[in-house]
């Protein structure tokens, strides 16, 4: 009996000890529970949030690809909600820059200002992901009310307007993903984000100025925007950067050769811009560089040996430039990259020399033409004179001799009437 009692007591103690962390971690405050239900309503009950009730223990919902809730200290610290709405880049009916409410967005009753006011009341959030939910409207400046936010992902929505400068006030932000929206204008200065490692602003309408970033960043994804400046030389000091994708913009100038030798860089994509010039042949490439895409620019000359060499550890794409490397069938003619060279502007000295040369040519040509004409006229007159003489002689020999009628009459008279003395 005593052994059984001891066993029961031991089991009770183990159960109590095991339940203590559950109580401290698993029970949300009523305030945050009401916030979650409010978020469910404002998002118009997406599939990921359906099935919630007053009995739902949010902190112990099993994570899924569309919903993850993590709690700590009776607070929500991570909220990830992935919807099933299409985004501007994959929706053919969406006119980028000309937003209109559709079946792929939340209804016209949705207010992004009210939504942000509500969601920021979960002030202990460290990770917030709200993707493909049909959010629309300009992002309010109050988005910076999260005190401890480390990851902000609101990609694949229809949020338009400029990125609020207040977004640069996060102290602990490590990842900022605003990809596949309708953001436009200049990107705020993000150099104050000392811990920022990932920046993804792809598939927006941002530009024309290249964003200012801190040099501790690891991944920079800016493709499919309207950046129109040169590639900043400051990037050569980004020794932690592993991925740089600035393709499909309107960047111009030359490619900073220091990019190829960044010690951590693994992926470099500058395709489909307006980059010109030739790359230095004596540059070195990082051993970690595994992918390079230079295609669809206006580059000339030859590729550096470290890029041109066929390596099984490195993929290099460089078609549709004006390069003399590789297969010429996949390169433009040199005049495509430098059309102005086909018709070079002449200097005043060249113009004077050209005009003198042209005058000399015209003078010689005019003299030759005049001489030919004079000779032709001379031959024409000689020919006419010779022909006239021949015609006269021929008429003299071929015409009959006729006697004057007067002479015949006189003769007849002398025969008929002889003189009588």
Whole-angstrom distance, CA of residue 125 vs CA of residue 152: 10
Closest CA to 118 of 30, 202, 57, 40: 40
**CA gap 319, 293 in Å, rounded:** 9
| In contact, 158 and 183? CB cutoff 8 Å | no
pLDDT per residue rounded down to tens, the chain (421 residues): 454 554 544 545 444 444 444 444 458 999 999 999 999 999 999 999 999 999 999 999 999 999 999 999 999 999 999 999 998 887 654 555 578 999 999 999 999 999 999 999 999 999 999 999 999 999 999 999 999 999 999 999 999 999 999 999 999 999 999 999 999 999 999 999 999 999 999 999 999 999 999 999 999 999 999 999 999 999 999 999 999 999 999 999 999 999 999 999 999 999 999 999 999 989 999 999 999 999 999 999 999 998 886 677 899 999 999 999 877 789 999 888 988 655 545 555 444 444 555 555 565 666 676 666 666 666 665 555 545 454 444 443 343 433 333 333 333 333 333 333 3
Burial classification of residue 185, based on how many CB atoms lie within 10 Å of its CB (0-12 exposed, 13-18 middle, 19 or more buried): middle
Tell me the sheet residues that pair with 298. Answer: 276
Half-sphere exposure of 421 (CA within 13 A, CB side): 0
Residue 261 and residue 266: Cα distance in Å, rounded?
A: 10
DSSP character string of 11-51: HHHHHHHHHHHHHHHH---HHHHHHHHHHHHHTT--GGGTT
CA distances from 86 to 89, 101, 108, 204, 229 (A): 8, 13, 17, 15, 31
Question: Which element (helix H / strand E) includes 306?
Answer: helix 305-308
Domains of the chain by range and CATH?
24-342 (3.80.10.10)
Q: Which two tokens stand for residue 63?
A: 């994570």
Tell me whether the omega of the peptide bond preceding residue 208 falls within 30 degrees of 0, making it cis.
yes
Separation CA 375–CA 105 (nearest Å): 89
In the prediction, which pLDDT does 310 show? 65
d(CA 289, CA 306) in angstroms, rounded, equals 10
The DSSP result for 93-130, as a single string, is: T-BTTB----TTS--TT--HHHHHHHHTT-TT-SEEEE
**DSSP for residue 133:** S
Closest C-alpha to 263, from 245, 282, 281, 289: 289
Helix or strand or coil: residue 87?
Answer: coil
Give the pLDDT confidence score for residue 17 in this predicted structure: 40
Task: Give the pLDDT confidence of 57-77 residue by residue, as tens digits.
Answer: 999 999 999 999 999 999 999
For position 243, what pLDDT does the model report? 99
Taking the CB of residue 193, how many other CB atoms lie within 10 A of it? 23
Alpha-carbon gap, residue 148 to 120, rounded angstroms: 11
Residue in 270, 188, 175, 164 with CA at minimum distance from that of residue 216: 175
């Amino acid at each position: 009996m005593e052994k059984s009692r001891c066993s029961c007591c031991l089991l009770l103690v183990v159960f109590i000890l095991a339940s203590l962390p559950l109580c401290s971690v698993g029970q949300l405050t009523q305030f945050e529970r009401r916030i979650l239900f409010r978020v469910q309503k404002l998002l118009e009950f997406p599939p990921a949030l359906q099935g919630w009730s007053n009995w739902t223990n949010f902190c112990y919902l099993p994570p899924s690809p569309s919903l993850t809730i993590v709690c700590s200290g009776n607070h929500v610290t991570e909220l990830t909600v992935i919807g099933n709405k299409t985004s501007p880049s994959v929706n053919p009916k969406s006119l980028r820059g000309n937003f209109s409410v559709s079946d792929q967005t939340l209804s016209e009753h949705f207010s992004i200002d009210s939504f942000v006011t509500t969601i920021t009341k979960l002030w202990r959030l460290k990770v917030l992901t709200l993707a493909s939910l049909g959010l629309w409207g300009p992002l309010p400046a109050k988005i910076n009310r999260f005190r401890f936010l480390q990851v902000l992902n609101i990609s694949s929505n229809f949020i338009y307007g400029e990125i609020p400068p207040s977004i640069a006030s996060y102290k602990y932000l490590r990842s900022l993903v605003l990809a596949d929206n309708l953001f436009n204008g200049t990107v705020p200065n993000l150099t104050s984000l000392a811990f920022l490692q990932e920046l993804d602003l792809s598939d927006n309408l941002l530009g024309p100025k290249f964003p200012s970033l801190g040099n501790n960043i690891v991944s920079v994804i800016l493709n499919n925007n309207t950046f129109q400046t040169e590639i900043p030389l400051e990037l050569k000091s980004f020794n932690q950067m592993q991925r740089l994708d600035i393709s499909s913009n309107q960047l111009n100038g030359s490619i900073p050769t220091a990019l190829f030798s960044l010690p951590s860089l693994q992926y470099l994509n500058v395709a489909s811009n307006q980059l010109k010039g030739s790359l230095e042949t004596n540059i070195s490439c990082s051993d970690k560089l595994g992918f390079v895409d230079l295609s669809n620019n206006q580059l000339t000359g030859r590729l550096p040996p470290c890029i041109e060499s066929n390596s099984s550890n490195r993929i290099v794409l460089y078609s549709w430039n004006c390069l003399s490397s590789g297969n010429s069938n996949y390169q433009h003619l040199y005049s495509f990259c430098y059309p102005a060279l086909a018709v070079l502007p002449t200097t005043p000295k060249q113009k004077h020399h050209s005009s003198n040369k042209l005058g000399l040519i015209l003078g010689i040509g005019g003299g030759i033409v005049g001489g030919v004409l004079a000779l032709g006229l001379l031959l024409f007159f000689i020919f006419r004179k010779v022909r006239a003489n021949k015609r006269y002689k021929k008429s003299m020999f071929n015409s009959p001799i006729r006697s004057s009628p007067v002479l015949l009459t006189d003769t007849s008279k002398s025969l008929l009437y002889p003189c009588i003395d």
